[in-house]
Structure 1
Amino acid sequence: MAAGLQGVGGFPQNPYTLISSRDATLVPLDEGSYPVVLPPVDDPEAMQRWEPWVRAYVCQAALLEPLSFAKIGAQGAGIWHVETTVAAPPDAPSALSTTPKPLARLDRPAVHAFKEQVKKVLSWADLREERTAEIIAQLDPQFAFWGSVVYLHPSRTPRTLELMNIALLLAVNVEMQFKHALACWRPIEYSAQIQPLITTPGHGALPSGHSTQAYIVAHVLQRLLDLPDSHPVSVQLQRQSARIATNRVVAGVHFPADSMAGRLLGETLGEYFVARCKTGRNWTPRFFDGTVMTGHEDLMPPTQPLDGPNAPDFYKPFGAKESAAASGVLRYMWDKAIKEWEDVRFQ
C-alpha cells in the first residue's frame, strides 16, 4: 500500500485525489441532494450525529452547569463544599429559581497527620520494585485495568467507554477544584527521603485524582450492569480501584489520606452521575472530615464502609438523600451504553 495522508477510519485525506475523483464522476447541473429534515432544537437524539469528543463536551456542560463550589467556615480554616442547584419550573418566581442540594464536602487533615503518614509512604516504598510496571501503566486512564474485570473493547463496547470517559471528565473537573482550594502538600514536600518513583504532578495532593477517578468508574460500571455491591464483579471493581489508589502511595506521590478522600468523592460523584443519567436515582451527600485523622489510617475499603455505623470517623454523611432531573443528553448516552450489555446475564 502506498504511503499517504490518512484520516479517521483510514479514509484518504489527500485533497488532490478527491478533486480528480469528483471531476471524473459528477453529473453537470445535477442539483439533487439528500432530503434534509432538521431535528427539534436541543434534541438528545442529535447526539448520534456527532463525534465522541463532541458528545463528551456536551455532556460535561450538562453535568457541571448545576454545580457550585464554596468554603464553609472561618477564614483560613473551613471546609470546601460542592453542591448542585436544581432549577425550578420556568414560570417560578425568581427568588425560587434554584434550590441548592449538597453533594460533597472535604476538609483537609492537619499537618501533624500528614507528617505521621510520611512513615507509611516510606514504608510502602518497599513495594515499588514489584509494582513499577503497574504504576507506569496507570499513569494514563486505566481502561485496561477496568477491562480486565469487565469485558470492555473499543469495537464491542464503544458507548460504554464513552460513558466512562464522560464520568472521568466530571471527576477531573471537580477534583481539581478541591485540589486547588485545599492546597495540600505532596509527600516529597514533607521529606527528601520519599524520592518518588515518578514525577510528582503539579497540583495539590488531596483528594487523589487517581482514587477519585477509579471509584467513579467502578460505581458507574456497577450501576450500568445493575450489580449489587456484594456481586463478585462489584467486589473486584472495588478491589481494582483500591489497588490503583494504593499504587499512587507506593509511587510516593500521595498519602493514604489523599486516596481516602478520593474514594469518598469518587463514589459520591458516581451516584450524582447516575442520577443525572437515570430518572429516580439519588446520591448521598458525604463529608470527608480530615480533621479527625491521626495519620495512622490505611486505605482498606473492605473494612471501611462509606456509610453506616461501621464507617470510620472521617467518613460522614450529611443531610438526606438527594436527586435531580435526568439530563436528556446523559440519558441518551446511558441508554446507548446499556444496549451493549443486553446479551449479558450476570448471576
Structure 2
Amino acid sequence: MEPFYDERGPADREDFLLLNGGDFPKAEWSPDLQATSMIHSVLGQLNLTTMNMPTADEEKQLRENLQTQIEDILELRLSEANQSKAAEIIDQSGNFAHYFLTLLNCSARYRTQTSVLIFVCLQVASVVGLHFKWMYQRPRPAQIFPGMLPLIPTPAHSSFPSNHSTQSFLVAEMLVHAAPAATKDPLRRYVETMARRIAVNREIAGVHYSSDSAQGRVLAIEIKKQIVTSGVLDNLLTDCTTELSDFVDAGHPINKDQIVG
C-alpha cells in the first residue's frame, strides 16, 4: 500500500499534519525483542569457567556409555506412548517458547514480564550452551548409529549438553525462583514437567543422548545460580513475582489416569 492523501479536489483538499510521536511505547515492545535487549547484561554477569561442568577430557571418558544410551534411544522410539509425539517433536525443533507461554497463559498483554523472563532464559541458555558444545564436540547419535534416522534433521552443532534441556530447565528454574512462596510448588510441577518433556523429546527424536539432557539440566542450575547471585534480573523477577501471584493451588489434583485413561 502506498502513502495516501486527501483525494478531493483542490478546493476541499486538506493537508495532513505531522504528530509529535514522543517515545516508542515500551508496552508495545515484543517480549522476545525486549529480552534480546537484556541478554548482554545477563551474559556479562556470568563466569562460565566457574560453572560445575566437566572438563573436555572428563566428557570424553563419559562417552564410554554412549552405546548403551543409543539402545535407550531406540527403546524410547519403540515405546507406544512416544509414537504419537512426532508432530510435537518437529514443532519443538525450532523456537519452542510457545509451550511455556501457553502453559502459563503469557502474552504481550498478560503476564508480560513473565514472557520476557522466558525469552531471556531461552536466549541466554542458548548462547552458554553453544559455548560448552564447542568445548566438548560430542558426536550426535546418528554419527554413531546412522540407522537411527532421526525424526528431525540432526542439528549442525555437537550434542553435549542438550541446549533444549538447558533452555527448558533454565526457564523452569527461574520461574520457580520468581514465583511467590504460595505458588512455587504448583508452578514447579507444571514447568519442570514441561522442561523434562521437551528434553526427552530430543532423545526420542534421535538427536540427543540421555546424558546430554541430564547435563543440560545441571548447566541450567549453574546459570540460574549466577543470575540470582548477580542480581542482574532482580527488577524483572520482582515483576514476575507479582504476575505469578494468582497461580494458586485449588486443592483438586488431576492424575495420569484421568488424562490418558
TM-score by length of 2: 0.77
Question: Structure 2 CA distance, aligned partners of 1:54 and 1:263?
Answer: 25
RMSD of aligned Cα (Å): 3.2
1:230 deviates by 7.4
Partner residue, 1:17: 4
Of 29, 36, 42, the residue aligned with 1:51 is: 29
Partner residue, 1:286: none
Partner residue, 1:151: 105
1:198-217 CA distance string (max 9 Å, x none): 10000010000110111011
The answer to whether 1:162 aligns with 2:116 is yes
Question: Structure 1 CA distance, aligned partners of 2:244 and 2:182?
Answer: 16
Unaligned runs of 5+ in 1: 5-13, 37-45, 69-81, 84-101, 276-322
1:341 deviates by 3.6
Partner residue, 1:331: 234
The answer to whether 1:106 aligns with 2:8 is no
TM-score by length of 1: 0.60
Q: Secondary structure at the match of 2:53?
A: strand
Q: Residues 198 and 161 from structure 1, CA distance in 2 versus in 1: closer, same or farther, beyond 3 angstroms?
A: same
Q: Residues 198 and 227 from structure 1, CA distance in 2 versus in 1: closer, same or farther, beyond 3 angstroms?
A: farther
Partner residue, 2:95: 141
Question: Structure 1 CA distance, aligned partners of 2:14 and 2:117?
Answer: 42
Q: Residues 47 and 219 from structure 1, CA distance in 2 versus in 1: closer, same or farther, beyond 3 angstroms?
A: farther
Q: Residues 340 and 235 from structure 1, CA distance in 2 versus in 1: closer, same or farther, beyond 3 angstroms?
A: closer
Structure 1 segment 177-196 matched on structure 2, within 5 A: 177-196=131-150
1:164 deviates by 0.8
Letter in 2 for 1:17: F
Name the structure where strand makes up a greater proportion of residues: 1
Letter in 2 for 1:268: E
1:228 deviates by 7.5
1:267-291 CA distance string (max 9 Å, x none): 2223333x1xxxxxxxxxxxxxxxx
The answer to whether 1:243 aligns with 2:197 is yes
115-124 or 150-159: which moved more?
A: 150-159
1:336 deviates by 3.8
Partner residue, 2:259: none
Name the structure where helix makes up a greater proportion of residues: 2
Aligned residues: 237
Q: Residues 66 and 234 from structure 1, CA distance in 2 versus in 1: closer, same or farther, beyond 3 angstroms?
A: closer
Q: Residues 35 and 50 from structure 1, CA distance in 2 versus in 1: closer, same or farther, beyond 3 angstroms?
A: closer
Contact 1:245–1:259 under 8 Å retained in 2:
yes
